[in-house]
Structure 1
Amino acid sequence: MDRDRDGWRGVAGRQGGVVTRAQLRDLGVSRWFVRNQVVAERWVARSPTAISTFTGVMTREQRMWLGVLQGGPRALVGGMTAMEVHGLANWHRDTITVLVPYGDDIQEPIDGIDFVRTRKAIDSFGSPSSELPLMRVEPAALLWAARERSDRTSQGILAAVVQQRLTTPEALTSWLRSLKPLRKAPLFRQALADMSDGAQSLSEMEFKRLCRRFGIAEPAQQTKRRDGEGKLRFTDCEWRLPDGRLLVLEIDGGFHMEVEHWEDDLARQRALSAPDRVIIRCTTREIRDDPERLVRDLRRLGVQRAA
């Protein structure tokens, strides 16, 4: 029995302390031994399938293991949960998402874990560098975005994984081809094309579409500039005007309204200013709700019509 216990300890150690009854059986651990451990409150039956070899509150990672073990041998942590594990910031969701192929049996739902069925062949979706059965960031982002009802949020998550350097527009585009048919694919292709052209946020993508809609020249985006202190900066949008001056447009999201961000932006604007460089600002709300006035101001400042 000592040898058998060493066997289950090794498996449990690799799985956050969570094992399935089938794994224990395959390792030679009898169901009577499992029952006695549970009755003695040394182990806990977390579901009909999975046992934790510890008591107390489970960590988030342990709950992920619980989800994939309950979901079956092909289940993967997916969606926003997978992206968070890969390092995505500011998009946290409490619910853990587990992707499960159609046809695989899930004996019972678990509170706080969302089992998402898919007909897609998910064998290639797994991250090779993770002990935890985890989706790669690209299919996780695209499948989550396809399920999301809001187009803005769908595009926003794709922009976020690119902006936070978890992947590239080119990698997402390649996966988009692999996942077809995929809901919202034309929208995603356009968004990824805008990102490849330099847009790094949803607001920048929306602004490029505004330019096309109103027929004004599209700006250069995320251009490197040295400010007055020699620091490297990236401008949101800029145009070279007919008189040789440079017009820079900085787009402020909602977080820019906080006092500290607002003061940082003012200091950044002063540092970037120069005799031949005009810097103006707008908000994401203006892009969505008052584009005519924004375009009128840009034309008045010298932005030309698109060729």
Structure 2
Amino acid sequence: MVTRAQLRTVGVDADMVAHRVRSERWQQVTSTVVATFTGVLTREQTMWAGVLHGGKSAALGGLTAGERAGLKNWHRDEVTVYVPYGDEVPPRLDGVVYVRTRRDLDDLLQPDAAPRRCRLEPSLLMFGARDRSARTAQGVLAAAVQQRLTTPGRLLAWIDDLTPLRRASLLRSALHDMEGGSQSLAEIDIKRVCRVQGLALPTTQVRRRDASGRVRYIDCQWRLAGGRTIELEIDGAFHMDAEQWEDDIARQRSLSDPNRLIVRCTARELRDDAASLARDLRRLGVPSTRAVSA
């Protein structure tokens, strides 16, 4: 993938380009970008085309920059390219979305990246600020931390560097929860529910051995007086699969004992029915942090 301007610097003029395109050895991708091959562009070639077509200051951003940095399970078909706000928006290119920004892209760049791309942290924070879903904004940060691509501390520092940033308060709160050990959006949600509903915060990702000696991790745990515990498992959509559901039943049985109460909820309940969940947890013995009216 190469621009016409780059070709001119090595002595390949417009007539030579036109001849190679006519003879179907090369193909014209855009008015400014040429591919020195024919056929459908791969994803990486589309990224190169998007950046080259975007102009000298353009850089991969958003989830595309996250993908290049190793982020898993957050794929989007479109390639996101950031361009300076003052520049004219490049003509449409299939598979590429151009996002204008007033930020200085040179300050956000990942050194030595090819094609040019922004660092992981500002890319994900800027994506989270633009996306219509606040949960998606928090979820992608949790995923990047869980996959050990960055840390809450680095992301918090970038929030300050990117001021003003939409949703900064929400994202900062989520990152503080991650610093406290939360490894998923569900764990962040349960801590938020407990704060709002006046319940003691749980310990998350508790390491336990089941009846067979196998190491397991409990989503949330509250230790009560007398050595008893209440443990909450949060089920996402994949738990609805029949085989997973059966595994969950066996897992819960193997972790149970007379001093341990294990209850379950769904990720949807955390989002949409938090008050009912909190009421049940309180009734089962989870301590309150404030007086509850009758």
TM over 0.5: yes
Contact 1:48 1:107 in 2 (8 A): no
Match of 1:103 among 86, 95, 107: 86
Change in 2 beyond 3 A, CA 1:102/1:58: same
Aligned-pair identity (%): 55
Deviation at 1:137, TM superposition (A): 1.4
Equivalent residue, structure 1, for 2:250: 267
| 1:26-71 C-alpha deviation (Å, 9 max, x unpaired) | 1121222111111111000100110000001000000000000011
Deviation at 1:106, TM superposition (A): 4.7
Equivalent residue, structure 2, for 1:34: 17
Equivalent residue, structure 1, for 2:101: 118
Deviation at 1:211, TM superposition (A): 0.8
Are 1:211 and 2:194 matched, yes or no?
A: yes
Equivalent residue, structure 1, for 2:283: 300
Residue identity in the other structure for 1:207: I
Q: What is the distance in 2 between the residues matched to 1:121 and 1:153?
A: 25
Structure 1, 226-235 or 295-304: larger mean CA deviation: 226-235
Deviation at 1:288, TM superposition (A): 2.5
Q: What is the distance in 1 between the residues matched to 2:90 and 2:171?
A: 35
Change in 2 beyond 3 A, CA 1:297/1:175: same
Equivalent residue, structure 1, for 2:8: 25
Q: What is the distance in 2 between the residues matched to 1:119 and 1:253?
A: 38
Deviation at 1:233, TM superposition (A): 2.8
Are 1:87 and 2:70 matched, yes or no?
A: yes
Equivalent residue, structure 2, for 1:132: 115
Equivalent residue, structure 1, for 2:157: 174
Contact 1:72 1:105 in 2 (8 A): no
Deviation at 1:290, TM superposition (A): 2.4
* Contiguous gaps of at least 5 residues in structure 1: 1-17
Change in 2 beyond 3 A, CA 1:230/1:74: farther
**TM-score (norm: length of structure 1):** 0.89
* Contiguous gaps of at least 5 residues in structure 2: none
Residue identity in the other structure for 2:102: R
Contact 2:89 2:100 in 1 (8 A): no
**SS of alignment partner, residue 243 of structure 1:** helix
**SS of alignment partner, residue 282 of structure 1:** strand
Q: What is the distance in 2 between the residues matched to 1:87 and 1:107?
A: 27
Q: What is the distance in 1 between the residues matched to 2:245 and 2:73?
A: 19
Q: What is the distance in 1 between the residues matched to 2:256 and 2:82?
A: 50
Equivalent residue, structure 2, for 1:252: 235
Q: What is the distance in 1 between the residues matched to 2:261 and 2:250?
A: 15
Q: How many residues align?
A: 290
Deviation at 1:147, TM superposition (A): 0.3
Q: What is the distance in 1 between the residues matched to 2:119 and 2:109?
A: 6
Q: What is the distance in 2 between the residues matched to 1:28 and 1:152?
A: 52
Deviation at 1:220, TM superposition (A): 0.8
Deviation at 1:107, TM superposition (A): 4.4
| 1:56-95 C-alpha deviation (Å, 9 max, x unpaired) | 1000000000000011122111111121222222222111
Residue identity in the other structure for 1:144: F
Are 1:45 and 2:28 matched, yes or no?
A: yes
Equivalent residue, structure 2, for 1:243: 226
**SS of alignment partner, residue 8 of structure 2:** helix
Q: What is the distance in 2 between the residues matched to 1:58 and 1:221?
A: 45
**SS of alignment partner, residue 122 of structure 2:** helix
Residue identity in the other structure for 2:40: V
Are 1:159 and 2:142 matched, yes or no?
A: yes
Match of 2:173 among 179, 190, 197: 190
**SS of alignment partner, residue 106 of structure 2:** coil
Deviation at 1:160, TM superposition (A): 1.8
